[in-house]
């Protein structure tokens, strides 16, 4: 399916605006632009009545990061979703995903805890991975002490990277038992030779140059060897990971690597539910002002709810 007309119109409006290619900006400018355009988005219906609570937890190196908890006012959720926002590890925030997390908590009747991991280039690899795992451990200990709730790690784009890395760490460290990893167009590789980069690497907000810019800021110019793989596709072991719901956007530079990651997980004998959303682009989760993106996310929420209840 070609690019949906509503997405095409959105891109034309973006091109005619003051938006600038992220790779031409400084990190500060990129964050300012991200916040500005996030502020222009309008949710198409009244936001649900959700209780929120902010917590600060200590990281591995004794710094504080923000966690924001979202819960329904009248439902006792049986599922906890630890959510990692997207933004190439360099932009995005708990605040910018506030609407998405309220929506998720309401539509799925779950407890959502959004993680404010530290951003690059001020904090480089593997800080974000370690922040993600510390948050997961804290949530499991604080909100699932009896292990009676489903525990899910979820994220979009760079947040999907962190979700699946947290799953690998939990397996290797014999840490929290994760029931599902929900990966929304996750950034899992740095192979720019894939066909989807040729098809969708120019003329879209997430361009090839922007991805390279994010990667350089995240890894640094001379990344040091680590016990962690630089990208999930570089991992040594793909076995014994949680049940996976993985979603690609059809018109996305990352499309091919998302498909490849789903296939890799299947080959390692994991339970994988893969879906491609036709006609939409990277970032549709936050593009709820556009009807086709709003509908795609609504359907994705419904599908994941079905998967949770089918156990």
In DSSP notation, 211-248 reads: HHHHHHHHH-SSPPP-SS-SSGGG-S---SPPEEEEEE
The pLDDT, as a whole number, for residue 223 is 80
Does 174 participate in catalysis according to the annotation? Answer: no
Instruction: Please provide the average confidence, as pLDDT, over all residues in the chain.
Output: 96
Whether pLDDT at 289 is above 80: yes
pLDDT tens readout for residues 236-266 = 999 999 999 999 999 999 999 999 999 999 9
What is the pLDDT confidence band of residue 47, given thresholds at 50, 70 and 90?
Answer: confident
Distance CA 54, CA 300 (A): 27
Looking up tokens 């091109």 gives 15
Whether pLDDT at 199 is above 90: yes
The pLDDT, as a whole number, for residue 74 is 74
Whether pLDDT at 222 is above 90: no
- The residue from 72, 114, 157, 207 that is catalytic is 157
Domain total of the chain = 1
Whether pLDDT at 207 is above 70: yes
Angle at 94 between CA 147 and CA 35, to 5 degrees: 165
- The residue from 131, 252, 256, 293 that is catalytic is 252
The parent domain of residue 184 ranges over 5-309
Does 282 participate in catalysis according to the annotation? Answer: yes
pLDDT tens readout for residues 154-190 = 999 999 999 999 999 999 999 999 999 999 999 999 9
Determine what percent of the chain falls in helix, strand and coil, rounding each to the nearest 5. Answer: 40, 20, 40
- pLDDT greater at residue 311 or residue 98: 98
Distance CA 236, CA 17 (A): 44
pLDDT tens readout for residues 53-79 = 999 999 999 999 999 999 987 777 899
The pLDDT, as a whole number, for residue 224 is 76
Whether pLDDT at 311 is above 70: no
Does 179 participate in catalysis according to the annotation? Answer: no
pLDDT tens readout for residues 117-132 = 999 999 999 999 999 9
pLDDT tens readout for residues 4-35 = 999 999 999 999 999 999 999 999 999 999 99
**CATH code: domain of residue 199:** 3.40.50.1820
Helix (H) or strand (E) holding 71: strand 64-72
131, 118 Cβ separation under 8 angstroms:
yes
The pLDDT, as a whole number, for residue 202 is 96
Q: Find the range with the poorest average confidence among 27-31, 140-144, 288-292, 298-302.
A: 140-144
């Amino acid at each position: 399916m070609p690019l949906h007309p509503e997405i095409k119109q959105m891109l034309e409006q973006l091109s005619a605006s003051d938006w600038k290619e992220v790779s031409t900006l400084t990190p500060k400018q990129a964050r300012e632009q991200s916040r500005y355009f996030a502020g222009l988005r309008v949710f198409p219906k009244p936001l649900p009545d959700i209780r929120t609570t902010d917590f600060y937890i200590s990281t591995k190196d004794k710094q504080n990061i923000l966690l924001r908890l979202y819960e329904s006012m009248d439902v006792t959720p049986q599922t906890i979703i630890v959510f990692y926002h997207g933004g190439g590890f360099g932009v995005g925030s708990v605040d910018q995903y506030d609407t998405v997390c309220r929506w998720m908590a309401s539509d799925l009747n779950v407890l959502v805890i959004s993680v404010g991991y530290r951003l690059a280039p001020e904090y480089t690899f593997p800080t974000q991975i370690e922040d993600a795992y510390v948050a997961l451990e804290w949530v499991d200990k604080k909100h699932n002490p009896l292990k009676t709730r489903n525990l899910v790690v979820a994220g979009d784009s760079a947040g999907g990277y962190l979700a699946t890395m947290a799953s690998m760490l939990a397996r290797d460290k014999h840490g929290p038992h994760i029931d599902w990893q929900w990966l929304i167009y996750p950034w899992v590789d740095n192979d720019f030779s894939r066909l989807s980069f040729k098809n969708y690497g120019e003329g879209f907000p997430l361009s090839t140059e922007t991805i390279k810019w994010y990667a350089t800021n995240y890894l640094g110019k001379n990344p040091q060897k680590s016990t962690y793989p630089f990208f999930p596709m570089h991992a040594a072991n793909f076995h014994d990971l949680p049940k996976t719901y993985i979603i690609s956007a059809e018109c996305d530079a990352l499309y091919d690597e998302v498909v490849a990651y789903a296939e890799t997980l299947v080959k390692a004998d994991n339970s994988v539910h893969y879906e491609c959303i036709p006609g939409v682009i990277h970032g549709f989760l936050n593009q709820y002002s556009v009807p086709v993106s709003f509908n795609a996310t609504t359907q994705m929420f419904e599908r994941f709810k079905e998967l949770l209840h089918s156990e």
